Structure 1
Amino acid sequence: MSSNAIILSTASSSSSYLYDVFVSFRGEDTRYNFTAFLFEALRKNGIDAFKDDADLKKGESIAPELLQAIQASRIFIVVFSKDYASSTWCLRELVQICNCIATSSRHVLPIFYDVHPSEVRKQSGYFEKAFAEHEQRFREDKEKMEEVQRWRHALTQVANISGWDIQNESQPAVIQQIVQRIKNIIGPKFSSLPNDNLVGMQSLVEELEELLCLDSVNEVQVVGISGMSGIGKSTVARALYEKIANRYNYNCFIDVREIHRQSGQLDVQKRLLCPSSNGKDLEIYNVSEGTCLVWNRLHNARALVIFDNVDKMEQLQIFSGNRDHMLRECLGGGSRIIVISRDEQILKTHGVDDVYQVQPLGREDAYELFCKKAFRGIEIIARDYYEKVMDDVLSYAEGHPLAIQVLGSSMHSKSVSQWESTLAKLREHKNEDIMKVLRLGFDELDYTNKEIFLDIACFYQYAEVEKVTEILDFRGFHPECGLQDLVDKSLITIEGSRICMHNLLRDLGRCIVKEKSPNQPGNWSRLWEYKDLYKIMSNNMAAENLEAIVLTDNESRNLEIKMNADIISKMSHLKVLEIRCFNYYFGSLDYLSHELGYLDWTGYPYERLPSSFQTDKLIELSLFRSRVKQLWKGTKPLHNLKRLNLSYSQSLIKMPDLGEAINLECINLEGCKKLKQIHSSIGLLRKLTILNLKGCTSLIKLPHFQEALNLETLILKGCIQLQKINPSIGLLRKLTFLNLEDCKSLVSLPNNIMGLNSLEYLNLSGCSKLQLLGEARDGEAPIRSHTTLSVIKWWLYSRVHKDSVSCLLPSSTTFPCMRELDLSFCNLVQIPDAIGNLSCLEKLELRRNNFAKLPDLKECSKLYYLSLQDCKQLKYLPQLPSRTLLPSNVYRPPLFTIESVFELLWPHACFREVTLNMLNCPKIVDRERTTRMTISWIIQIGQVCTLLPSFSLSLSFLCKNQELTYSLVSGKDEVSSIIPGSEIPRWFNNQHVGIDSLSFPVKPGDGCLAVLACVVFGTPYCRRTVSATNPPKLKRRYDVIAIPAFLFENLVMDISDHMWLFYLSPHAFAAGQWSSDLQWRINKMLCVVFDVKVELKKYGYHLIYKEDLELSKLIMDSGNS
């Protein structure tokens, strides 16, 4: 059996000692009473005590076995009884014990059973009588008499040590005290685990301890540990075992798979019972007998049992017998059972209380572990030269401890160039040691799950779950169950809507596909690299086994290789063909596999698909940027087709009859510039939901939508020849998105468009010939009666005359549910007051107009976006919503609920941007009021950020008398604004002048809710003209926050000073938000730097506490800044 298969309580607590305890006692006095009870207590507490055999104590000389046991013991218990001194064996043991403690730091615990300590110390009473007999017996032997004196000296020495006089004490209580004293001396067992294996383990062990509820002493807890192979499951468990094993009366750590493989089920039971057998072999003849023995010996024991490497359910069923969860019921309160398995389903089936998923190492721990293996304590002067390769290695390993150790060891004592060579080799030839461990999980899968694993490894490492599920279902692999099995076995994870697979598991799958014919890609079942397809084509290889080819454009972006398309005609079993590149093809394509369900060929080089191509299994057909003129003639069976994409096929002149495509959901013909009309059959497709005709510049006619009643999205942007819309559009009651932008020839819309009840988005930008919109015709009700419009964007860039636009402006009665309104670039000199009554308005875009003032917006309580950029005549900022985002009772816990904030953030709780943009508004007046209003709004929004940290909110505000374009990139935890000015408000009570960087004290836990800061900065004259070669970024993962301004080429920045105001919520201070190697700085100081070259003149900040929550109201009520 493997030496690592089991860690038992019989293992030594130190590499120097075989036994924890050696007990010296007079057998006739205590063997069947006190000493027996003591040995049982030691055994139950996992303390390894040597127990002598009566047969050893025969003859005059001490037996070699006893001498070795004394030498190999760490603690000595001496039980003094009435006849102890009568035994020369006991006295000689005592002398040996005294010799051991004289030469090493070992412990003696004397116990005075039925004698007084003074009797032992002075050799009086029974001890006096015994020594009289010894002296009488040895009076003629000088050496023996010298030995007697050594006995006396040993008795005196040990009797002077503090111990237990139990003549009038409760023996069970004293035994418990003795056991606890021994446990305190021994401490945590198994401390010889190599430190290299414990990098990053401390936090994991602490998390596992918390999950185990170790303070709960009444219940038995069963916890599972899961994770991919080599991730450190056993290491974490061993580290925990080392730390807490001494708290339990009974403990063992069993490698179930190894023992089960070598010896079978009975040996697993034997290993569980081994600590109770005192080193003797157990005779168990069947599982039922073993189950009974487990029950009898472990009944009510307070135990720590760890079953490692459980890969089959039956390996645990041997502990169930005829009772469910027998081991859980057998053990006493406070016991803990840990089951370690790659397969979470095994853990769930076994009925664990919780499952701990071991995650990959973080960046710092991965770095530390790699350095320990690669450098092994050697100081490398030029370590920086290694950093780049080290980063590549760590990125490849993705925190996998085994991979990091193996790769680090393989690079030990090598130069940088050797490291690079090793890494290059690794990309081609994977490390066998790593792959061997990872393969254990794959080998446990059934056939279909293996196929699913291989498909994901080869093609879909980070793909959308929905897409992968559809493809796997087409392939016949039953993905609904299969994907969950892979998740349970830690072979994939599902994060949000995506499937994720570790790089190492991806490589494992690809190695498995290649393993039988590593240099013959024509024999593989899957192909994922262009070089292998090129190898097949250039060598005219047979490829009859190929079922799927998925080639992305990443690796071929700069390649211009010629491919022989004839070979594809010979791939008769292809089910998936995805080629996304623009390589050159020669030869003819006479045949495509009849098994194809997915055909996605970017740059398809032929004018038609092969005439013999059978399309009945086709689910998706995508020929992006192809040279197709016409797909085929006539009709084809297309009853499985769901998606058709011919976008930017600029040679396409005719669409085929799609009447057979009864399940077609999406048609994308964007950029098909020569297409003049689309087939009338499209109007009959009842499941069609998306029709994209954007940029079809020759399109003059739309079909009659008589049966396409499920159409939700219709995109006609840039259809410059389209003069009218078929009146049947009014039948599309589910239409939510209608984009008519830049339909420059469009004169009018059909009257019945007013009945599109579900319409949420309408884009009319650039419809320069369109006469009117929104007027009710005779006999028709106005739009408010028929529509539930919730989002309408009016893009009227081509409208430059006041009157032509004003007649189209909405009122609160016309659009009571309007959320978004865009009237940018309309040259408006007045905005109607009715806009201020749009209570549902969320976004108002009024850029580049000529009005001097705005109506009051305080009733627009849901407004979170207001853009007034380039409104050069604007003088006054209107009254902003008084209840924007934040209810008055937000900070009154009895009244506040999270739902109330969600209601105020109606209807979405995930705004990406909250913006007040007054860029290039040179005539703005009353800047003090503007500053107060801006700060108040920042605080309100920032408080919502604090309450709802899942939101991503930002606020930008910029006024300049020259042009400047900017963008704010926001994280979750800051709201910022830029306004003109040079005077920091007085209540910013920490102000600094003459700076080149900013810093704020951060003291987690001191009750600080946020930091509100104001920075005054200007732009040096030489920097007024800037470019966007390296636009600044908001560095949220590090300890800096960049100024929220992107500067673009040919724009001039004003020389006047500006104030940058920003609010940082406490979430910005959390250690998890920052680079871990900078945490010590974050705990003391928060640093802010500018990414653009600006002159920092001064700054101030105000730390916001609970008592400041009404600060925004006080600011607005105050008459000064």
Structure 2
Amino acid sequence: MDSSCFLVYRIFRFRKRNKNISSSLSSSSPPSSLSQNWLHPVFLSFRGEDVRKGLLSHIQKEFQRNGITPFIDNEMKRGGSIGPELLQAIRGSKIAIILLSRNYGSSKWCLDELVEIMKCREELGQTVMTVFYDVDPSDVRKQKGDFGKVFKKTCVGRPEEMVQRWKQALTSAANILGEDSRNWENEADMIIKISKDVSDVLSFTPSKDFDEFVGIEAHTTEITSLLQLDLEEVRMIGIWGPAGIGKTTISRVLYNKLFHQFQLGAIIDNIKVRYPRPCHDEYSAKLQLQKELLSQMINQKDMVVPHLGVAQERLKDKKVLLVLDDVDGLVQLDAMAKDVQWFGLGSRIIVVTQDLKLLKAHGIKYIYKVDFPTSDEALEIFCMYAFGEKSPKVGFEQIARTVTTLAGKLPLGLRVMGSYLRRMSKQEWAKSIPRLRTSLDDDIESVLKFSYNSLAEQEKDLFLHITCFFRRERIETLEVFLAKKSVDVRQGLQILADKSLLSLNLGNIEMHNLLVQLGLDIVRKQSIHKPGKRQFLVDTEDICEVLTDDTGTRTLIGIDLELSGVIEGVINISERAFERMCNLQFLRFHHPYGDRCHDILYLPQGLSHISRKLRLLHWERYPLTCLPPKFNPEFLVKINMRDSMLEKLWDGNEPIRNLKWMDLSFCVNLKELPDFSTATNLQELRLINCLSLVELPSSIGNVTNLLELDLIDCSSLVKLPSSIGNLTNLKKLFLNRCSSLVKLPSSFGNVTSLKELNLSGCSSLLEIPSSIGNIVNLKKLYADGCSSLVQLPSSIGNNTNLKELHLLNCSSLMECPSSMLNLTRLEDLNLSGCLSLVKLPSIGNVINLQSLYLSDCSSLMELPFTIENATNLDTLYLDGCSNLLELPSSIWNITNLQSLYLNGCSSLKELPSLVENAINLQSLSLMKCSSLVELPSSIWRISNLSYLDVSNCSSLVELNLVSHPVVPDSLILDAGDCESLVQRLDCFFQNPKIVLNFANCFKLNQEARDLIIQTSACRNAILPGEKVPAYFTYRATGDSLTVKLNQKYLLQSLRFKACLLLVEGQNKWPNWGMNLVTSREPDGHIVLYTPSSHLQGPLLMENLYTFEFELVVTSSEFVLEFRADRYKCAVSECGLIQLF
């Protein structure tokens, strides 16, 4: 559901106020902060009585989760003035966060802290963040309202100089754009946002990676001026220049400097590689690019992108900084940044490319050309790599300039040449000059090849292997593939890295595209007109020629064909295509992104031979039922033949002692696996969706080094061999949806290293063997949807390291063994949908349990009284437990309980009293509890309660609010469709974040309705009504009204409350959204206004919608027009009142 509504008016300022605090960070962090050594990451200044038990504790918890340790002066003895220890703590903190609350000004201690913080901001470059907690920033700035009253009391009897310092500090702090808790529907979301901002600042340290990049400051200054960060528009800019000139480095430096000013950010690099052209399945490739973008942007690895509209939906209201690096096609931009409207206001998209026409074709107007460095800058760049400093060593001045001139001004070429000559003597430099003069001029490739030519033969060979075949592999994987070569891979990689021919990063090999192109060109020139005589083949046309014309030779050691590059027709491979490739070691026919498109490779006459020296066989959609009869897999390290027509790999028993990885997933005709007797080094075996596979060979027990076995969707698999118990090193076993599997062998308990077992969807599984209790390292057990499973073995209690136990929708499961109380490390227990489950065992010893899911356990009648001992439980789901008669009174003793869901518990008549003991309860959902008559009065004493849903509780008569004049702050109360609710609401709603839904509560008395309408603190509400009340100063029939104000309010920020009565428009849509327009002037500005999602839903007749908004008034008379055209509903009546 799209819950966005839009508020449009002349002045833009309201939208800007709701921006994140990051726009203030750069201004509060002058350059002096860059060299500061900080003792603490964060200092928190707060008034304890306002925030210690609520906001502060939640901030601490979120900080702890993100590895942030703030300094909090809880243990310091407070006296007349702050002491040297606290002064040191303030001055030694990189970030100071000021929690400005109602009573902050009542503490001299807090005010003195504030003065010191603002001083550190000015003098030390300390980053200062502000949080306005239930207080108006304007009240703090001007020391007025309730905040001002408290502050004035503190000032009584104080020296005027001290008072002035306090006032100045308060004004300065209030001028820092910070988080205003009144603008957040959910306090938890605000805290997460604060934590992210803090993490971003702490992560932002001037990167030493770019210190050696000469002239970087000039580049970033020019580009920043193009970005125009002070404008609220969405802007795309281009960075353009030749390969190797430093575009990527510049964009990374720029991102590193600016990302903390945005809500979200990402750098998508090597796009040219991620989206090769031509591409057979353009749509799938676009989806993959968009998935990569969103995964990085919102930090969610398992992001699902079903269609190309997802990015726009997820990012349209987010201020983002996005760098798209190495773009070479419009389709790539279409996938990730097709239009500026995809992104929220203030977003900046930076496109890095070598193609100027591409930028213009995409409509990008602002383009920065990266020029070649000057002669002096080129010398500095060269010297940084040759000498480690920006100028030549004594005696090298002239020869350094000579080499720089010969190498050209391309930064990459200068870096490679400098790295090559580093640590050489002057005499060695002199010997290199003649070769430089003869082999180099301004040609980039020649510069790079000069460094390549200086390598020993082994390093040259390693370089070509990487550029042609392994540039995306990890170091340890490369070592395995090249193990039989007489080369020290790690030593060779270090040599290549030292010469700037590649870089090593966290175990990954990274190489500049220009260097990749160099390697490919070197191989191409080995035999320009006869590609079959080269070492490697990667070009689609060359591979097609060799395979169809049978022109391969013994020189070939690797073929890498990306099948998406075959645009037209198919490739008919000759029966003897591989016969003369007797030294072929690496063969890869693959689809990018796992694309399972139509068949392209055909073997119309079969295949007679494949090299016995193969170490990698990656042939997706292999068209035959078996490999050639003479194939010998003796040297095979990895075999990947996903989605093939295979029925078996080969006949007989073949030695596979070198095999480490096997993937035969989606081979739906596969009936037989090879003999694994010699596969003692196999680590991963993937057989996903092998629908015809009935059993595993008993020889699987010989694979003693197997770490992961994946049998997902092997729906014909009936059993596992008893030899499975020999897999003592197995860590992960996936049997998801093996729907024919009836049982596991008793020897299964010998798999003692197993950490994760997934049996979800094994609908025929009758039991789990008791020997599972022997698997003491098991941490995750998933058995969701095991509908035939009647019970768990009592030995499950021996799995004391178990952290997650999921039995969702095990509809035959009647009880859980009492031994479960021994699972003291269990954190997540899911029994939802266990329709036959009658009771739970005592779980009193499961002290680490955090989440308990019992939704739709329709036979469950009670919970164990000992549930109170699960002291770390924070989430309890009991939705749909229709036979649950009562809750144990002890449930409120779970002091960490934050969320309790009882939706649809139709037999539940009352809640236990003493609810106030659940001091951390934030969310209580009782929707459709049709037998519930009243709420316990103590529920309103839970100060942290932020969400209470009693909607559709048809028997509910009493909320018991009368004896509680003040409801919890920030409450969202949803009582919609409580048709029996009749009582008065003698209470006050003091917090503007309160949201009230009394939709269709037609028995609600008039006093209650008036209270909801007239309370100035209720920002959003729905209540019964057939016309706009007279309380609203301005009222009109239809969708517009004229507002006339006193001249004294001009250029002031004012708050208004609106009231609407909606009716159906031309089309009936399930939900509604709104635009509010000041139509007097043509240049009004759009400002995002988002009412509570709890008030979004089907259009309700005979109900009033009220909400508040703020705007800066620039005219004493203007027209407000209310439009609800997004979902085609209409405004029948409207009203407006100014709030004071």
Aligning the two structures, in what range does the TM-score lie when normalised by the shorter sequence? Answer: 0.3 to 0.5
TM-score (norm 1): 0.45
TM-score (norm 2): 0.44
Pair member with larger Rg: 1
